[in-house]
Structure 1
Amino acid sequence: MPAKSNSLKSLSDLKQVQRSLAEQREREAAAAAERAAAQKKRLADQDLFSRAIGATQPLRRKASVPLAPEPPAPIPVQQQLDDQRVLRESLSDEFDVSTLLDADDAMSFRRPGIHTDVTRKLRAGEWSIQRQLDLHGMRSDEAREALGAFIRDAWKQGVRCVRVVHGKGHGSPGKQPVLKAKVQRWLIQKNETLAFVQAKPAEGGGGALVVLLAPARR
């Protein structure tokens, strides 16, 4: 009897396994049928959309042009050369101006080829003074450097007429105008200087010079 009972139990387990397999196959078949129906519906929707919009063509892509990187700012070579020339420039205190200055009360100067009318008009104030440099209180070396930079910058910017105040020397040893003669020497050595005259009394008189600069190169 026990052997028969075991056989029935094994047969019962086998049938249970078979039922489980059959149920799993049914579920898989149902899932496959559902997926197939969903795919069929998607294809039908796509076909309907295609018929609705008609024939299409892909958009042409415009040829892209690679943009070159922005070039670096140009190096101001000429300006650097000019600045270096200014630094190298040496205005001598020993330069002899006695043969270049007009022998008048104001000791005016004009370069060879410059007509006397130029200095006359400078004295008369017919040139408008556009800039001024005051050298009061400066040592000789400081004044020389300041004057060189001032004249060069004014000339580069197209300024034609400037006033240079050197003082009357009241505060100098012996009450002598130390800078006056030096400023005259320095200005004559500057190629930008065409002429200069002593300023009118109302504009500094013997303590200042009115300087006419050459036209700047363009």
Structure 2
Amino acid sequence: MTRKSHQSPPPDAPEDDAALFRDAIGPVRELPASELPPAKPRPKAAPRMAQRDEAEAMSEFRRAVTADALEAGDALAYRRDTVPPRTLQRLRRGEFSAQEELDLHWSDARQAEAMLREFLNHARQHGIGCVRIIHGKGLNGDSKHPVLKNLVDRMLRHRADVLAFASAPANQGGTGAVLVLLAAKR
């Protein structure tokens, strides 16, 4: 009996690694096909028409705001219908003395708006009838329109507790300040 330690393929058969592997492991059964991994979700549809309409509306709003915007030398003046015109004239001449003052110099628009709201609420709560708000003339800004002056004008016109306001006389700040008459506390 002869012992062979290693069985070699017949010399005429080519060595096929895959065939040798299949012979070595024996019969196999195929696994069922697995599901494909979930696909990446598609991006949501962008409402481009709505975004364009919104952008156009904002542009139109900005145009409307800047069309009525005050310039550096413009004087502020406003009175409610219930306030006599003579009262506004007296306010322009500085015949009312300001009991409190707020200086908005070096504030950005957001800070100035918050400070102005708080200041007017405080004045109203303490029964103050006339205040001076210094907004500056807006000569140092990048814009043609003074930002703080226009902000003060818009805010004062929309407050129910403001009866009238006018740019201060030259000796009290001129077009860089505004005198404001407030309604009495109820």
Tell me the TM-score normalized by structure 1.
0.51
Q: Helix, strand or coil for the counterpart of 1:170? A: coil
1:139 to 88, 92, 108: 108
Q: Structure 1 stretches (4+) deviating beyond 6 angstroms?
A: 93-96
Q: Determine which structure has the larger helix proportion and give its number.
A: 1
Segments of structure 2 that go 5 or more residues without pairing to the other structure are 1-60, 69-73
TM-aligned CA deviation for residue 124 of structure 1: 2.0
Deviation of the 1:174 alpha carbon = 4.0
* Higher RCO, 1 vs 2 (CA within 8 Å, ≥6 residues apart): 2
Which of 71, 80, 84 in structure 2 is aligned with 1:111? 80
In the TM superposition, 1:185-204 aligns within 5 A as: 185-204=154-173
Answer whether contact 1:170 1:177 (CA < 8 A) is retained.
yes
Asked if 1:162 corresponds to 2:112, the answer is no
How far apart, CA to CA, are the structure 1 residues paired with 2:150 and 2:168? Answer: 15
What CA deviation, in whole Å up to 9, does each residue of 1:187-212 have, x standing for no partner? Answer: 11111110000011111101010000
1:37 corresponds in structure 2 to: none
Q: For structure 1, which segment, 195-204 or 169-178, has the greater mean C-alpha deviation from structure 2 after superposition?
A: 169-178
Identity %: 39
Q: How large is the Cα RMSD of the aligned pairs? A: 2.5
Figure out how many residues of one structure are paired with residues of the other and give that number. 120
Name the counterpart of 1:70. Answer: none
Residue of structure 1 in register with 2:53 after alignment: none
Query: What does 1:86-97 align with in structure 2 at a 5 Å threshold?
Result: none
**For residues 115 and 191 of structure 1, what CA distance do their matches in structure 2 show?**
17
CA distance in 1 between partners of 2:75 and 2:149 (Å)? 12
Aligned-partner SS, 2:96: coil
User: How far has the Cα of 1:176 moved from its partner?
Assistant: 3.8
Residue ranges of structure 1 left out of the alignment (5+ in a row)? 1-92, 100-104
Give the 3-state SS of the residue equivalent to 1:144 in structure 2. helix
- Scaled by the length of structure 2, the TM-score of the pair is 0.59
- Mapping 1:28-67, distance limit 5 Å: none
Instruction: Tell me the residue number matched to 2:10.
Output: none
Indicate conservation of the 8 Å contact 2:76/2:153, yes or no.
no
